[in-house]
Structure 1
Amino acid sequence: MTSRKRLSAEDWTAAALRALSEGGLAAVAVEPLAARLGATKGSFYWHFSGRDALIEAALELWERTGTEDAITAIEAEQAGLPRLRALIVGAVVEHTGEAARVELALQATAAHPLVAPVLARVTRRRLSYLAGQFEELGFPPGEAARRAQLAYTSYLGISQLAHATPGETDLSPAYLDTMVTTLTAYP
Structure 2
Amino acid sequence: MGAIRTPRGKWIEAGLRALSAGGPDAVRVEALAQALGVSKGGFYGYFANRDALLTEMLETWEREVTDETIGRVEAEGGDARERLARLTVLASSGAGLLTDVTTDLAIRDWARRDPAVAERLRRADNRRMAYLRSLYGEFCADEADVEARCMVTFSVWIGNHLVAADHGPRSRTDVLQTIRARLLAP
Q: So what's the TM-score if we normalise by structure 1? A: 0.83
- 8 Å CA contact retained: 1:110, 1:119: yes
Q: Which moved more, 1:59-68 or 1:128-137?
A: 59-68
Task: Note if 1:15 corresponds to 2:17.
Answer: no
C-alpha spacing 1:12/1:40, structure 2 compared with 1 (3 Å): same
In structure 2, C-alpha distance between the alignment counterparts of 1:121 and 1:38, rounded to whole Å: 35
> Aligned residue for 1:82?
82
In structure 1, C-alpha distance between the alignment counterparts of 2:59 and 2:85, rounded to whole Å: 27
C-alpha spacing 1:168/1:97, structure 2 compared with 1 (3 Å): farther
- Which amino acid letter does the alignment assign opposite residue 156 of structure 1? I
Question: 1:144 Cα shift?
Answer: 1.2
- Which amino acid letter does the alignment assign opposite residue 176 of structure 2? L
- 8 Å CA contact retained: 2:111, 2:118: yes
Indicate the RMSD between aligned Cα atoms, in angstroms: 2.5
Task: Note if 1:6 corresponds to 2:5.
Answer: yes
> Aligned residue for 2:126?
124
Q: In the TM superposition, what are the counterparts of 1:3-152 in structure 2 within 5 Å? A: 5-75=4-74, 76-94=76-94, 98-99=98-99, 100-111=101-112, 112-152=114-154
C-alpha spacing 1:168/1:56, structure 2 compared with 1 (3 Å): farther
Q: Which runs of 5+ in 1 are unaligned?
A: none
- 8 Å CA contact retained: 2:108, 2:118: no
In structure 2, C-alpha distance between the alignment counterparts of 1:171 and 1:89, rounded to whole Å: 14
Question: 1:125 Cα shift?
Answer: 0.5
Percent of pairs with identical residues: 33
Q: So what's the TM-score if we normalise by structure 2? A: 0.83
Q: Secondary structure at the match of 1:78?
A: coil
Q: Which runs of 5+ in 2 are unaligned?
A: none
Q: Secondary structure at the match of 2:78?
A: coil
C-alpha spacing 1:25/1:168, structure 2 compared with 1 (3 Å): farther
